[in-house]
Amino acid sequence: MQAPSPLDVDVQYVKGVGPRVAPLLGKLGLRTARDLLYHLPRRYEDRTKLPPIAEARVGEFVTVRGFVRDFEARRTRSGMVIQSAVLDDGTGSIKLVWFNQPWVSRKLQSYTGEMIAYGQVRMGDWALEMNSPEYETVEDEEDAADFARIVPVYPLTEGVPQKLVRRAARGAVERFADSLPDPLPADLRRRYGLRPLGWCLRHVHFPTDLGEATVARDRLAFEEFLAIQLLLAMRRAETLQEEGTSFPISAMREPLWEEIRRMLPFELTGAQKRVIGEIFEDMERPHPMNRLVQGDVGSGKTAVAACAMLAAVRSGFQAAMMAPTEILAEQHYANLKRLFDPLGVHVTLMVGKLTKRQKERARNLVRTCQSPIAVGTHALVQEDVGFDRLGLVVIDEQHRFGVLQRAALREKGFGNPDVLVMTATPIPRTLTMTLHGDMDVSKLDELPPGRTPVVTHWKPPERRPEVYAGVRKLVEVGRQAYVVCPMVSESEKMQAQAAEELHRHLSQDVFPDLRVGLLHGQMKPKDKEETMERFRRGELDILVSTTVIEVGVDVPNASVMVIEDANRFGLSQLHQLRGRVGRGSHRSFCVLIADASTEDAQERMKAMVDTNDGFRIAEIDLRLRGPGEIVGTRQSGNLDLHVADLVKDARLLELARDAAREIVARDPGLALPEHAGLRESVGRLDPLRAAVIRS
Ligand code: ADP
Ligand code: MG
């Protein structure tokens, strides 16, 4: 349990809130004093300009102060109430105008005292005016608090006025800012040049200049990143301390690399060699490897995995490779068999569709270690496979189906094997650091030579006939095509209907003479596989599909993909889909059909046309659509940041990561007294977030 902090107090007890206002703040999700303090302004208004009214200029935002006269409220024929008053400071006057605000009438009807107003000066019919200014009558000087200064503007929601949040924030700052213990140790603050917490809270809410507000906000963002990075660093440190297998790789360096050269039909790229080197170093250490290999589609991850598996086998251990689907498992099986058969290393396939006898045989081969390599789906570890000496687990495409936990492996009695995770969805660096910060990351950032990149076109819907004519031409010379149906719904069922609809249209109206197949998520696994198999064998010319083809399907003869309503997909997803073509020697195409009317949409389509670099695309996607859209909602809870921003604060994140690793290296359990505050911050992380990071 977490020790209660003074900030956990219910927001209603903050000065200026109370039981009436608290429910309103609740609408903003602000329930405790902490919530309030960390509900940061969206922007600021500089009201420090307080010119004499005579010097107010049209177009400027200014604060003016004077005496109220000539209040009037009149109703127009359309029923609108227009209220106005004249504010006079002796140098000049300005007319203040409000629309339909009964409380303005109530307040000003009989008021002739002093008032402060803030707004933009405009030229009215007769004199200077201000429309819907913020105002405060000055009955005592405290009323003027929100004027003649830099004023925070908070994110709001329906029915919660700005002023109310501002007053509550002021109450919280006054009460807590000067007495809160700072979770960041003084030494850390000094080294990273960070201001104390209290100063930051005060200046982020009520800055005296905007530079201060930025300094304050950045420190709070750093603090937020730091807690997450500490959690990840602690987890990483745990793994690094566990006992694992030390594969004697240096001892067999020469013969191993010699065998790799014989095994692979090509020369490894520089990136592949580097990544294999990193993996080998991990494998040699007596602690379990926990490494993520990120590489765009076609960057050659399978070869890298094969080298790691060979090293495990030559060290006398078994290796398992897991894929998210049976189709993919079979593909890996075929590829690995081709590589390992000539070396006399047996590879076993373990998938659900094997007959009972086949399964029994496969299990036997694995159990007796006659087969050092097994390929399958997750069932590999869920079922009672019984490896003899499992040393390495390779997981392909992990964050499509939820990461397999090391703990789960251990629970199932697999000991503490090295784990290598491969992902073809390049995600931006900041996301990787946040989602997979407990892993070491290798990047395959180089494609094997001789690829002809997929040519991408973007066409508006009215040019569809032309696109179909192009597809027909390619089919006539023997190629095959994918048509991806528009994303109509989150519901699999409705999505399936859309695919059926498109299939009907294409097979009956557009390509009645061609063989058009259909693939969607609602089909029985057996039917899905049969369709895929027919497409692979060339018995279908066109495959209409939902995004179920996104992951890993390999049909080299398919050289064109048409994506309907492309604007409905995330860029990373489009890129992933596009990776299904261009896998053979044929020049390949991707056609995005999109009616992209907004600037954002145009930028997205242009990015797809302009680059084939998955990492660049992921960065653009992050900037345009935010983290949740990229990793999917399942993991995005983890990315729910209050202060920090994964797009703008990349540098702060790197700093926080370095700081976290340094702290954890010195004090793995955050047990030192000066780390008590940090320990508390980590403990306070949303349990959901902690769980997501863990999984
Ligand atoms: P990924 O899994 O990263 O999408 P693969 O491992 O399936 O990529 O490799 C894609 C294709 O590139 C395969 O046909 C593979 O044989 C080939 N390949 C991999 N590495 C190289 C290389 N260094 N040189 C030439 N071809 C390569
Ligand atoms: Mg692959």
Task: List, for residues 361-398, the tens digit of each pLDDT value.
Answer: 988 998 888 999 999 987 777 666 788 888 999 988 75
Residue 544 gets which letter from DSSP?
Answer: E
pLDDT of the residue at 4: 66
Say how far residue 617 (Cα) sits from the centre of its chain.
13
Q: What is the mean pLDDT of residues 295-317?
A: 93
The CATH number of the structural domain formed by 250-444 is 3.40.50.300
Q: Is the CB of 298 under 6 A from ligand 1?
A: yes
Q: Is 588 helix (H, G, I), strand (E, B) or coil?
A: coil
Indicate if the pLDDT at residue 132 is higher than 60.
yes
- CATH fold group of domain 455-625: Rossmann fold (3.40.50)
- Average pLDDT score over residue span 534-553: 85
Q: How far is the CA of 286 from the centre of ligand 2 (A)?
A: 28
Find the 365 Cα to ligand 1 centroid distance in Å.
Answer: 28
Tokens encoding 360: 């029994």
**Is residue 297 lining ligand 1, measured as CB closer than 6 Å?**
yes
For residue 505, what is the enclosing H or E element?
helix 492-505
CA of 298 to the centre of ligand 1 (A): 5
Ligand (nearest to CA of 264)? 1
Return the exposure string of 107-119: e unless at least 16 CB atoms fall within 10 Å of the residue's CB, then b. Answer: bbeebeebbbbbb
Q: Identify the residue whose C-alpha is closest to ligand 1 atom 5.
A: 300
Ligand 1 atom nearest 267 alpha carbon: 23
Check if 63 has its Cβ closer than 6 Å to any atom of ligand 1: no
Q: Which residue has the tokens 């900041």?
A: 430
Distance 307 CA to ligand 2 centre (A): 14
23: Cβ contacts below 8 Å, ≥ 6 apart: none
Predicted local distance difference test score (pLDDT) of residue 401: 42
Q: Is 365 exposed, middle or buried (0-12, 13-18, 19+ CB in 10 A)?
A: middle
Residue 301 Cβ < 6 Å to ligand 1: yes
Spell out the residues 6+ positions from residue 665 whose beta carbon is closer than 8 angstroms to its own.
237
* Tally of CB atoms within 10 A around 360: 11
CATH numeric code, 49-148: 2.40.50.140
pLDDT at 694 over 70: no
Beta strands in 336-470 (DSSP E): 347-350, 373-376, 390-396, 418-423, 440-444, 455-459
605 token code pair: 């389509």
633: exposed, middle or buried (C-beta count within 10 Å: 0-12, 13-18, 19+)?
A: exposed
Please tell me the residue having the least CA distance from ligand 1 atom 27: 448
pLDDT at residue 645, as a whole number: 87
Instruction: Tell me the mean pLDDT in the region 532-541.
Output: 93
| Residue closest by Cα to atom 16 of ligand 1 | 300
Domain boundaries, the chain: 1-45+149-238+682-695, 49-148, 250-444, 455-625
What's the confidence (pLDDT) of residue 413? 64
DSSP letter assigned to residue 510:
I
Q: Which residue has the least CA distance to atom 11 on ligand 1?
A: 298
Q: Which of 296, 302, 375 to mutate to test the pocket of ligand 1 (most atoms within 8 A of CB)?
A: 302
Measuring CA to CA, which residue among 145, 196, 205 is closest to residue 169?
Answer: 205
> Is 584 a pocket residue for ligand 1 (Cβ < 6 Å)?
no
Ligand 1 centre distance from Cα of residue 174 (Å): 61
User: How many Å lie between the centroid of ligand 2 and the Cα of residue 693?
Assistant: 24
Q: What is the DSSP letter of 695?
A: -
Confidence of residue 338 (pLDDT cuts 50, 70, 90): very high
400, HSE (Cβ side, Cα atoms, 13 Å): 25
Q: How many CB atoms lie within 10 A of CB 333?
A: 21
Question: Nearest ligand, CA of residue 395?
Answer: 2
pLDDT of residue 420: 92
130 lines ligand 1 (CB under 6 A): no
CA of 335, nearest ligand number = 1
Note the pLDDT of residue 569: 87
Ligand 1: centre distance to CA 448 (Å)? 7
**Residue 297 CA: which ligand 1 atom is closest?**
4
The answer to which of 106-110, 301-305, 443-447, 497-501 has the lowest mean pLDDT is 106-110
Query: Atom 20 in ligand 1: which residue has the minimum CA distance?
Result: 300
DSSP 141-209: GGGGGGSSSEEEE----TT--HHHHHHHHHHHHHHHTTTPPPSS-HHHHHHHT---HHHHHHHHHS-SS
H-only helix segments in 293-423:
301-314, 326-340, 356-367, 379-382, 406-411
The reported pLDDT for the residue numbered 61 is 87
> Could you say which DSSP state residue 586 is in?
S
Q: What percent of the chain has pLDDT over 90?
A: 44
Total Cβ atoms within 10 A of residue 141: 7
Asked if 11 and 33 count as a contact pair (C-beta separation under 8 A), the reply is yes
250-444 against 455-625: fold identical = yes
Residue 141 has pLDDT above 70, yes or no: no
In this structure, the number of other CB atoms found within 10 A of the CB of residue 121 comes to 21
Express each pLDDT in 225-249 by its tens digit: 999 999 989 988 888 888 888 999 9
Q: Ligand 1 centre from 293 Cα, in Å?
A: 14
Q: Which tokens in the block code for residue 679?
A: 């320990």
Summarised one tens digit per residue, pLDDT across range 565-594 is: 999 888 888 988 898 898 878 899 999 999
| Nearest residue to 176 (alpha-carbon basis) of 28, 15, 53 | 15
Whether pLDDT at 692 is above 50: no
CA of 294 to the centre of ligand 1 (A): 14
Mean pLDDT of 461-468: 95
Q: Are 404 and 322 in contact (CB under 8 A)?
A: yes
Residues facing residue 617 across a β-bridge: none
* pLDDT value, residue 296: 83
The predicted pLDDT at position 683 comes to 86
The pLDDT, as a whole number, for residue 454 is 92
546 lines ligand 1 (CB under 6 A): no
Give the C-alpha separation, 196 to 217, whole Å: 12
Rg of the chain taking only CA atoms, in angstroms: 32
Residue 399 scores a pLDDT above 70: no
Helix (H) or strand (E) holding 622: helix 614-625
How far is it, in rounded angstroms, from Cα 8 to Cα 18?
16
Distances (CA, A) of 539 to 542, 543, 559: 9, 10, 15
Q: What percent of the chain has pLDDT over 70?
A: 91
Q: Which phi-psi region, left, alpha or beta, contains residue 332 (left: φ > 0; alpha: ψ -120 to 50)?
A: alpha
Q: Coil, strand, or helix at residue 393?
A: strand
Is residue 216 in contact with ligand 1, taking CB distance under 6 Å?
A: no
The residue type of 467 is V
Q: Which atom of ligand 1 is nearest to the CA of 396?
A: 2
What's the rounded mean pLDDT across residues 13-25?
89
**pLDDT, the chain, mean:** 86
* 614 touches ligand 1 (CB under 6 Å): no
- Ligand nearest to the Cα of 336, by number: 1
Is 695's pLDDT higher than 70?
no
Name the residue among 563, 550, 480 with its Cα closest to residue 515: 480
Mean pLDDT of 344-350: 94
Decide which of 253 and 16 is more confident.
253
| Closest ligand relative to 301 C-alpha | 1
Atom 23 (ligand 1) nearest CA: 268
